[in-house]
Amino acid sequence: MGLTIYLDGEYLPEEKAVVSVFDHGLLYGDGVFEGIRAYHGRVFKLKEHIDRLYESAKSILLEIPLSREEMQEVVLETCRRNNIRDGYIRLVVTRGRGDLGLDPKKCPRPTVFCIAATIQLYPPEFYEKGLEVITVPTRRNVPEALNPRIKSLNYLNNILAKIEAGLYGVQEAIMLTSDGYVAEATGDNIFIVKNGKLITPPPHLGILEGITRNTVMALAREKGMAVFEKTFTRHDIFIADECFLTGTAAEIIPVVKVDGRPIGDGRPGAVTWELIHAFRELTKVDGPAIYPE
């Protein structure tokens, strides 16, 4: 059975949910988006995702033609129309249809669509045994050019890094900043654990400020762990006790090898497992219910 898609005020069967070839989201990557998950009939961290969408849009001077409350209802209703209790939601706002020039003034109305489906970012066995990753030659976008804090439709930088990971036979790439600090993976944030401390790069370095990242930091602090947002290098990963990635699609996934070096004892670590369990518990209660309770 096909999906029902929200597109510009209507709920349409997927074959009717079509966007113009003149849409500047397609022609120029001019737009913003969110990836959101539903667990146990609730949309996890929905407010945080809607807020980040509107902040990304504000940063690129894109005025979303719906209020935040209306957008929240679009997400919930798209889930309902697709009978989603557990799934993955993609919410996209583009500059809309324009002409072949890149001037956004020629785009009178943004395009808004929402898809509620499912996703499997990495094969399930890696959640048990952990991922092997590499750092890749493609550096993360410098924030002075296109700030990675904007969740824009410009993912070519990340896609190139993902291709490079694939060329070396691994599932995921760690991208460095132009200065050589660890930034993030192609669709996930990165954490290391060293001597019981949790460390993740700061957003101003030029990374997406992940909602899963923020959730994991809050869970760790609730458990009394010391959490630091600070810059670190490949070497810090090599000598870390544990490493893991976080993202809406990825959730929390252990990393057990980086650039050929086993991390810790080469197996997912105790802190990582503790956070995975706490995260799973939180998904049972966080966010608005999709269906009346």
Chain contacts with ligand PMP (rule: CB under 6 A): 35, 158, 184, 187-189, 208, 210-213, 246-248
C-alpha span between 160 and 229 (Å, rounded): 26
CB distance 132 to 144 below 8 Å: no
Q: Choose between 62 and 211: whose C-beta lies nearer to ligand PMP.
A: 211
CB of 10 to ligand PMP, least distance (A): 26
Q: Choose between 4 and 248: whose C-beta lies nearer to ligand PMP.
A: 248
Q: What is the DSSP track for 15-35?
A: GG----TTBHHHHH--EEEEE
CB of 219 to ligand PMP, least distance (A): 13
47 is catalytic: no
| From 45, 105, 151, 257, the catalytic residue | 151
The closest of 37, 12, 38 to 210, measured between CA atoms, is 37
CB of 220 to ligand PMP, least distance (A): 15
Element (H, E) at 274: helix 270-283
Q: Choose between 4 and 56: whose C-beta lies nearer to ligand PMP.
A: 56
Nearest residue to ligand PMP, scored by beta-carbon proximity: 210
Q: Which residues pair with 33 in a beta bridge?
A: 92
Q: Choose between 94 and 141: whose C-beta lies nearer to ligand PMP.
A: 141
CB of 16 to ligand PMP, least distance (A): 28
The sheet carrying 42-43 orders its strands as 10-13, 4-7, 111-117, 87-94, 31-39, 42-43
Active-site residues, by number, are 151
